[in-house]
Chains A and B, each alone.
Chain A
């Protein structure tokens, strides 16, 4: 196994460790906690009254924020490698990134003017 993969092995080990801790704590809790099932305990909580309807519904206006997010998140993925190598790239790199950011800023401005950012 090369050093590169060995580094990310640590990440995998940590996922396992987290799952192990969650499992161990829940397992240990099982030994101590009471278990007295009553049907009323398993009703969905709705501030004390009987639950109405079944599963809730979500509001569709959230999806536009998700779309905006994807655009800017991809941008962030581009900006980081640029940031690391800026010293070598010099003014050429800076102007390139300035154009890229201005284009994105215009897109944000467009969304703003279109009223996408208004929460109503």
Chain B
């Protein structure tokens, strides 16, 4: 494996291969999350019988059947719609999801581009999806869609701030925004002088991690923050006029971003691809697997909350972001900074 990675085939081909791999990985990640959590875990937790039935064992065929259904749906664009914007909106959401994966490291060298501004870039491009959502809601020329899109925009910008500010604590501790740098800082860290495990930042940044999870929940519009798509009042909000594959792109955007955020959280506070005592080529080999296990643990938390809590009210949602999460995040930055300078 070390030898294989050491072969230099030029940056152009390297980039091409990485792009193709990630291109396959994102829908796969979305499907894994959709399958494991949305279909199976939800069925078990809420006693839903439907998704457990198709194909026999645990309803393994459900997702394949869903895919085929989407493939056969007629492509309908309402005649009132702003056609060009309507068609472009799902693409913007998918682009936003794709761009996050540029910086997520799955090994010391297994990363598309290890940008110096890593985590800052990831959060910046993740917020591009707001534009896609607003475009979809506006272009649909539908009252439900517009209401849903505006709710989504108000929610996404309100929770963008706790998300950004929660990460600052990790950046302060690691002294870098580069994601591989953050992983290495955790791997080489020590808990009160004992370096057997490194220093996963969840021990010191548990407040930041909790804030990040809550904000990510809202950014992904998962219940209890799913007012933008509230199916019982807004009939899926900004997605109401989309059919077939165009609808599927919003699904890929949602679950692909959930995959990315879980990977990001795992990288920031759980040590990412690093395993204690594993270095060099072996880390490249084991990295993707280690990161996958950690990100599934984070995703489990996100979906556990989703399947357990009822929906918040719109004013409660805004109050929670502005009155609680942002002040706590600001305090967290200062306390982390104090410890960093002091110790």
User: Measuring CB to CB, which residues of chain A are less than 8 angstroms from any residue of chain B?
Assistant: 6-11, 13-15, 17-19, 21-22, 25-26, 29-30, 32-36, 41-47, 51, 53-59, 62, 65-66, 68-69, 72-73, 76, 79-80, 83-87, 90-91, 93-94, 97-98, 101, 104-105, 108, 112, 117-120
Contact = CB atoms under 8 A, between A and B. Distances in A.
A53 B330 CA distance: 45
B99 A15 contact: yes
Interface stretch (B112-120, B282-290, B291-299): B112-120
A32 B172 CA distance: 52
Interface size class of B (residues with CB under 8 A): 35 or more
A90 B335 CA distance: 14
Given A15-B99, A21-B94, A33-B244, A87 B340 contact: yes
Interface of B: 11, 15, 18-19, 22-23, 71-80, 90-91, 94-95, 97-99, 101-102, 112-113, 115, 120, 140-144, 146-147, 150, 153-154, 157-158, 160-161, 164-165, 168, 171-172, 175-177, 235, 240-241, 244-246, 248-249, 314-315, 318-319, 322-323, 326-327, 330, 333-334, 337-338, 340-341
B150 to A, nearest CB: 5
A-side interface mostly: helix
Nearest to A36: B74
7 closest cross-chain pairs (CB), A and B: A119-B315, A56-B143, A56-B146, A18-B98, A42-B79, A83-B171, A10-B113
A10 B94 contact: no
Contact of B98 (A17, A33, A62): A17
Given A7-B113, A80-B168, A84-B175, A35 B98 contact: no
Given A29-B71, A62-B153, A108-B322, A45 B78 contact: yes
Contacts of A11: 99, 102, 113
Contacts of B147: 56
A84 B161 CA distance: 18
Contacts of A76: 161, 164-165, 168
Given A45-B78, A65-B158, 8 more contacts: A18-B91, A25-B245, A56-B142, A80-B171, A84-B175, A87-B341, A97-B333, A105-B327
